[in-house]
Amino acid sequence: MAHLVCDDSGCPIAYPGLSHLTLIQWSVERLPSKPSTSSNQIPFPRLRSLKIDMEHPFGDNTLFRGNCGTLESLQMALDCITINMLKRNEVFAAGKYAKLRNIYIRSIDQESEVESIPDYIYQSFVLKMSPKAQIFTDQEVMIDQSKVALFCNSPNLADLRVLNLPSLALHMTSLVPLLKGLRRLERLECSSLVGDLDIDADCMHAAHFPLASRLRLLSLTSYDDEHNDAFGCIMLLALVCPVLTHCRMSYGWRESFNSFVQGTVETAPYSLCRDRLMALKYINEQQ
């Protein structure tokens, strides 16, 4: 990867007009070595979008030098080694990437067991990469239920509009405080919703309505045949979220979901919000 930023004689190469950069490694093998460059070298000073679809290719902050005032979208693979390197170089020091709105992270090796990132590192680093994040995606199973609570009170996520956790099934006990903490959330994606179907809907409505007053779209990525639990949770959520009108899920769930909604709205307390809940619209995963 050194040839990207240095010519054959070792002289630095810069790309002052480059605004979008994508780095891809076709091999699944880990990199044998990672080059570093002089701290004075700034090869990508005006990047707006950086996608690193591979193990981080440098041993230092080469890709991030000089573009903290322009970078708006970042997609990268993370592990503890990469995080330590970024922290050591103070890449995401407090408030540094004020224009970074879209953050997408995943594990480095998608074929093997994902390395666990401790909660305190996830909270102190991952959730503080930008003070103005609006879209946050954790693509792999890097996140678990214990980390969901970390989103609730993070000041860096006050402006978050979209949260994508496609590998995680969210439990209702985690989801309610999550939505209370992310007051501007408009779209939420997870693998499924799980919870106790004996939850008292009247108590849920009395305790939490209105919840997530901007949440309009819920997306479920699971293709599991056992979906009644998820449907029950969706209806509970729709009961307390006043503008939740669209649910994206597997096409195979369409008829059973519509039937579940029609049956549920005839029962109390859902019947009190019948017109609003009947507007709950299924959309498939392609829409």
Cβ contact 172:195 at 8 Å: yes
Q: Sort residue 94 into left (φ over 0), alpha (ψ -120 to 50) or beta.
A: beta
Dmax (CA) for the chain in angstroms is 76
Cβ contact 103:135 at 8 Å: yes
Residue 50 parent element (H or E): strand 49-53
The Cα 59–Cα 230 span in angstroms is 44
Beta carbons within 8 Å of 91's beta carbon, 6+ residues apart: 61, 64
So what's the pLDDT on residue 235? Answer: 94
pLDDT mean for each 10 residues of the chain (287 residues): 86 95 76 79 96 91 95 92 92 91 83 65 89 90 76 87 93 93 95 84 93 96 79 94 93 88 93 91 73
Beta carbons within 8 Å of 263's beta carbon, 6+ residues apart: none
- Coil, strand, or helix at residue 123? helix
So what's the pLDDT on residue 170? Answer: 92
**pTM listed for this prediction:** 0.91
Helices (H), the chain: 80-88, 119-124, 145-152, 172-181, 201-208, 228-240, 254-264, 274-278
Sign of CA dihedral 40, 43, 47, 53: negative
Cis peptide before 57 (omega within 30 of 0): no
Alpha-carbon separation of residue 111 from 114, 116, 143, 183, 235 (angstroms): 8, 15, 17, 35, 35
Number of Cβ within 10 Å of residue 171's Cβ equals 17
